[in-house]
Homo-oligomer: A and B are copies of this chain.
Amino acid sequence: MKVDMLIRGCMILTMNRKREVIDSGLIAIRDGSLQYVGGEEGAPHFDAEKTIEAQGKIAMPGLINCHTHAPMSLLRGIAEDKDLNTWLRETIWPLEAKLKPEDIYYGTLLSCLEMIKNGVTCFADMYFHEDMVAKAVKEAGLRAVLAPGIIEAGRPMWGRLLFMGAIRTVKRLKGYADGRITMQLGPHAVYSCTPKLLRMVRKAASKLKVGIHIHLAESIDEAEEVRSKYGRGEVELLSDMGFLGPDVLAAHCIHITHEDMKILARHGVKVSYNPIANMKLATGIPNVNDMIKLGITVGLGTDGPASNNSLDIFETMKVGALLQKVRAGDPRTLPVRRVLEMATIMGAEVLGLSEVVGSLEAGKKADLILLNLKRPHLTPNHNIYANLVYSARGSDVDTTIVDGRILMEDGEVKTLDEEYVIKKCGEVASDLISR
């Protein structure tokens, strides 16, 4: 059979239903999809346009970043070691007010470059000017779920304008970049959007058949503000207004009760766990272990590169696992296989893409990465799951493939001019802060 690409001789971490790990495997790709994933021995014969000899490497599903604000790479390092409120109000929001659409494009390009190099093949973004984010994603070749941000913060007219704009953007970008981009609506948070606006968003999302991406219970201040204003917690409030559903992606979920978790579980709400940003801003530690026990699907997110300060899901896997162990006071919490599930197949489910990506099995899109295992820090290989979670780094990724297209091979990015993007984005960032 004729196929476009063959990858052979590698270990394969399938993350399929049986969680099979294949020692010496073969992957065949045709028309952007996986045609065959299995052992080399006994595999059908394929004629391929291109063959990657991958002995000594491991193939695994591309990693999924469930919560970020990609354009914020331009603000990386601009305000450090500050609390969330000061950070947002004194530095981030004033600078964001000066952002031009073109900045959004370049900031996203820089983030896409970093994600390709670190083996992230799909990310969920919430920001303004998502059309510019989409343009960068299209050029980079990544897959993304984009949520135009809607925020009110005491200015209803502004909220209304952003809402109308978001709907136009969602309609315009649906199916953009050969279908690699799907859309959501992105109401910022309960404390920054009124119930009226949130109800409008819910109605529009259902009508447009797109999901919703929202920040939920990130800081104790916001949780208390909402409670004193509405006499209920954020989760209860959203539940009461009929906002919650399986198409809702809630980022953070730190300051919620066990009862809240049950409500989220009942509605099939998905959660993004963003351990590094939660630690960096000291907003608290979500109880991911209990959420998963209650049946909530939890993926991993980096949050924006200005509050992390990187876009590396390998790092997020390790820190995310460690943080839950500390929280529980029990090192058995969030074991390595579960963490890899969160970064791949559960992440895909969080983004409504589990039929499309998140595991390597025939029929799914060919979104995968190759890591070089011949590294001192990956030696010996007593336990491949442990090595991937606790020892591997984004920099071990040498090949990144999305939709069957090679975005990086042997460390060389194919879709973007790395040197140009780095130079240009450094200039754009300098210009931004001097405005």
A residues apposed to B, CB below 8 Å: 73-78, 80-84, 87, 110-111, 113-114, 117-118, 276, 278-282, 284-285, 308-312, 315, 318-319, 322-323, 325-326, 328-336, 374-377, 379-383, 385-387, 390-391, 393-395, 418-419, 421-422, 425-426, 429-430, 433
What's the minimum C-beta distance from A61 to chain B, rounded to whole angstroms? 21
B391 engages A76 (CB within 8 Å)? yes
A280 engages B331 (CB within 8 Å)? yes
B81 engages A335 (CB within 8 Å)? yes
What's the minimum C-beta distance from A220 to chain B, rounded to whole angstroms? 9
20 contacts between A and B (CB under 8 A): A76-B386, A77-B382, A77-B390, A80-B335, A110-B376, A110-B379, A279-B326, A280-B322, A281-B325, A282-B326, A284-B326, A284-B329, A285-B326, A308-B390, A309-B387, A374-B419, A375-B422, A380-B426, A382-B433, A393-B394
Chain B residues with Cβ below 8 Å from A393 are 312, 393-395
Chain B residues with Cβ below 8 Å from A278 are 326
What's the minimum C-beta distance from A141 to chain B, rounded to whole angstroms? 15
A376 engages B114 (CB within 8 Å)? yes
Residue picked from A336, A375, A377, A395, most chain B C-beta under 10 Å: A377
Taken together as a complex, chains A and B put the C-alpha atoms of A117 and B308 apart, in Å, by: 24
Chain B residues with Cβ below 8 Å from A323 are 279, 326
Chain B residues with Cβ below 8 Å from A87 are 331
Chain B residues with Cβ below 8 Å from A421 are 376
Taken together as a complex, chains A and B put the C-alpha atoms of A113 and B386 apart, in Å, by: 20
A391 engages B77 (CB within 8 Å)? yes
Q: In chain B, what residue has the closest Cβ to A80?
A: B386
Taken together as a complex, chains A and B put the C-alpha atoms of A284 and B331 apart, in Å, by: 11
Taken together as a complex, chains A and B put the C-alpha atoms of A311 and B378 apart, in Å, by: 11
B84 engages A376 (CB within 8 Å)? no
Q: Which of B77, B78, B282, B390 contacts A331 (CB 8 A)?
A: B282
Q: In chain B, what residue has the closest Cβ to A83?
A: B331
What's the minimum C-beta distance from A288 to chain B, rounded to whole angstroms? 14
What's the minimum C-beta distance from A398 to chain B, rounded to whole angstroms? 12
- Known contacts being A379-B425, A419-B374, is A309 close to B80, with CB within 8 Å? no
- Known contacts being A329-B282, A335-B81, A383-B80, is A312 close to B429, with CB within 8 Å? no
Q: Which of B279, B325, B326, B380 contacts A77 (CB 8 A)?
A: B380
Q: Which of B78, B279, B381, B386 contacts A383 (CB 8 A)?
A: B78
A77 engages B383 (CB within 8 Å)? yes
B82 engages A310 (CB within 8 Å)? no
Residue picked from A276, A379, A421, A422, most chain B C-beta under 10 Å: A379
Q: Which of B308, B332, B422 contacts A376 (CB 8 A)?
A: B422
Q: Which of B118, B336, B377 contacts A311 (CB 8 A)?
A: B377
Taken together as a complex, chains A and B put the C-alpha atoms of A171 and B20 apart, in Å, by: 53
What's the minimum C-beta distance from A344 to chain B, rounded to whole angstroms? 18
What's the minimum C-beta distance from A57 to chain B, rounded to whole angstroms? 14
Q: Which of B78, B83, B326 contacts A382 (CB 8 A)?
A: B78
Using A284-B329, A315-B318 as known contacts, list a sample of 6 further A-B pairs with CB atoms less than 8 Å apart, ordered by residue number in A: A80-B383, A81-B332, A276-B322, A281-B325, A374-B422, A379-B425
Chain B residues with Cβ below 8 Å from A281 are 325, 331
Chain B residues with Cβ below 8 Å from A73 are 376, 379-380
Residue picked from A309, A319, A374, A376, most chain B C-beta under 10 Å: A376
